[in-house]
Structure 1
Amino acid sequence: MLETTINRFRLAGFIEGGSLLVLLFLAMPLKYMADIPEAVTIVGSLHGFFFISYILIIAYTTYKIRWSILWVFSAFIVAFIPFGNFLLDIQIKKKFA
């Protein structure tokens, strides 16, 4: 699966998008409903690492396959939207697979 640049990007999108969902739908409720703030500290740190890695992979993918500015902008924006990476992945599969 990781043989092409676009597949590496897709994997990074799944990891980053999944970490956002875990942060929003697991760690945040644990912090505010169960009074376990450590959940956000741990998951938030991991998500931050995955987010920075995702941004670097966007840059790498743009360099390798000469993405248009629309793809770059879309890839960046969906990182802030829950389930956004998964929706972008559908579009990437249609266009590049």
Structure 2
Amino acid sequence: MLKFFKYLAIAEGYSFLLILFITMPLKYMGGLGMPNKIIGMAHGVLFLSYVVVAIIVSQLLKWNFKKLLIVLTMSIVPFGTFWMEREYLEDEIATA
């Protein structure tokens, strides 16, 4: 479950950056809305999956509420999921 969460966090982070730096400028500066709709839908699914799996992992690893809140907050911060993965999951995966 931890490796799955690690890869999910990375995928969610890339989808967020793709929307932020590529599809949003295409939509508002280039008038191309379709890439934003497609990537936006994928990002939405990844984001919701990230939240659900983060809650499950927090229960498995017995994280306190503060740690869970930090992990969830990192999903709305650009580059946050990459930092979270290194900070909270790397050691857990190595010891598992």
For this structure pair, what is the TM-score category when the shorter chain's length is used for normalisation?
0.7 to 0.9
Q: TM-score under structure 1 normalisation? A: 0.86
Structure 1 segments of 4+ aligned residues over 4 angstroms from their partners: none
Cα distance in 1 for partners of 2:75, 2:35 equals 21
The aligned residue for residue 85 of structure 2 is 89
The aligned residue for residue 58 of structure 1 is 54
Match of 1:18 among 14, 18, 29: 14
Stretches of structure 1 lacking an aligned partner (at least 5 in a row): none
- Whichever structure has more helix as a proportion of its residues is 2
Match of 2:75 among 61, 79, 97: 79
Instruction: Indicate the RMSD between aligned Cα atoms, in angstroms.
Output: 1.4
Aligned length: 93
Over 3 Å counting, the alpha-carbon distance change for 1:47 and 1:94 in structure 2 is closer
Over 3 Å counting, the alpha-carbon distance change for 1:40 and 1:94 in structure 2 is closer
